[in-house]
Structure 1
């Protein structure tokens, strides 16, 4: 009873909260927490601030990221260094399809601020998709109690410090969880080869929903349809894996490039189609050669053109996880009496992080590729040099 005469009631309630919570640290002391299992994501962050200590105490909860991870192994790693400087913003993201499984923090009494490290875990066939950033989960000097929505994982932490309040506020990047084995399962029911047919045919769309009731509960319908495209397409590579494609005949040009980007892998999967360049090329012989070296450096523009009257018949690419970019080689073919004329450069065939679906106009061949990389989006956009095809009665010299 004596304390009630000295302290306001609100203060007493606040102190009871500090005493009764399952906090992992005292004020001014180290935070060190990891989930009990590597297949769990941090699902709740609760903290309270003290104006005397100018610090927070933290409490965490975890839950399985779901998708039948029982018995699944995860690869995990802590940040090598602290991810922020004192009094400076924190902007941390687990790479690829990683999710946050632990946090370490040290408090500095001079700056009255914390620096943070994080533990990221990855499971081979688990993908983070449709990621979004929360609003601020606390005000300065006020309690924080953020709970992760069902079916999602925590991928990133963003925070800023205020020297007046001597406190931080926090936002989290959260993502829907998709297991690729589910993706393959429900998309095997599709009879159609392209998403446009799927969208134009209501019966196919209903069938897709029937084959993926689990994903429908987790993901918006548009996402599910998009993912069906991902699994049903004839992609020549997986994310982060090499591209190695050439047309079945040397007298064909690549006529379609379709690709989709994944923000977790920060890479694209590619699908190609070819067609004869026409002009009665059956029986014609073509001379073809691959690029001797990769035609671009990582993070740098690509500007490639087949020499003289060559056209693009194949593409090879390797992905670099450090730069999150691709380098490219090309297969150019030439037919003695085929000329490329009235060449022109297309507009951009994709936006950063968005699907690409470029089809070559009839009567044309693909001669060149121009591309630029964006380090923010960690993606490339592409333009193509395309030419009219003319057959001459004389045989020009082939360089």
Structure 2
């Protein structure tokens, strides 16, 4: 590939942000592994979450996409597991941080996953006017969720019971740059 088409492709990616390809089924992160992990490219935060129930493995498969979110230096950390097996989740990144990655662990006896989140923040940005989505799926239902325009993902709720019922909500906020004195 010559330098010009590559440069043009990079410009298009920067203008449009990081998006899912036309065929997301080729990117599924499968839950039939003991662990699943996804981290956005540096400076990005998760902006698209797609999940589908796989009837062959009785697990969900996931896909994520990111958007450019930070212009300044950022600090990132993995949380500890935010739930135990067979428990729900009620999590928001602390201290004006965005969700920039996810990781989970599966154990067969539980048929469930423990989740961790990769939270990143910039000292020059804070988030406000936060809202929660309603539940965006029912048991074993496909879903695709995008952060609304000019907002960023900061939290997640997972309702859980042992009848394969796992429903998700997401928390998103608007950005407010701060002035460094």
Range class of TM-score, shorter chain:
0.7 to 0.9
Counterpart position of 2:110:
323
8 Å CA contact retained: 1:266, 1:379: no
Shift of 1:270: 0.8
Counterpart position of 1:297:
84
Within 2, Cα distance between the matches of 1:370 and 1:326?
A: 14
Q: Give CA deviations for 1:54-84 in whole Å, capped at 9, x if unaligned.
A: xxxxxxxxxxxxxxxxxxxxxxxxxxxxxxx
Counterpart position of 2:94:
307
Within 1, Cα distance between the matches of 2:131 and 2:34?
A: 31
Question: Structure 2 residue aligned with 1:193, among 22, 35, 39?
Answer: 22
Question: What number of residue pairs does the alignment pair up?
Answer: 161
Question: Structure 1 residue aligned with 2:136, among 349, 361, 382?
Answer: 349
Q: Secondary structure at 1:297's aligned position in 2?
A: coil
Shift of 1:265: 1.9
Within 2, Cα distance between the matches of 1:239 and 1:351?
A: 21
Q: Which has the higher contact order (CA 8 A, sep 6+)?
A: 2
Within 1, Cα distance between the matches of 2:180 and 2:149?
A: 24
Shift of 1:234: 0.9
Question: Structure 2 residue aligned with 1:275, among 67, 72, 92?
Answer: 67
User: Does structure 1 residue 263 correspond to structure 2 residue 43?
Assistant: no
Task: Tell me how large the CA RMSD over aligned residues is.
Answer: 1.7
Shift of 1:239: 2.4
Larger Rg: 1
8 Å CA contact retained: 2:130, 2:171: yes
Give TM-score, length-normalised by structure 1.
0.39
Equivalent runs, 1:158-173 vs 2, <5 Å: none
Query: Which consecutive unaligned segments of at least 5 residues does structure 1 have?
Result: 1-191, 195-228
Q: Give CA deviations for 1:308-334 in whole Å, capped at 9, x if unaligned.
A: 211101000111222211110001001
Q: List, as ranges, runs of 4+ consecutive aligned residues in structure 1 with deviation greater than 6 Å.
A: none
Counterpart position of 2:29:
236
Q: Secondary structure at 1:248's aligned position in 2?
A: coil
8 Å CA contact retained: 2:93, 2:119: yes
Question: Structure 2 residue aligned with 1:286, among 41, 64, 74?
Answer: 74
Query: Which consecutive unaligned segments of at least 5 residues does structure 2 have?
Result: 1-20
Indicate the structure with greater strand content.
2
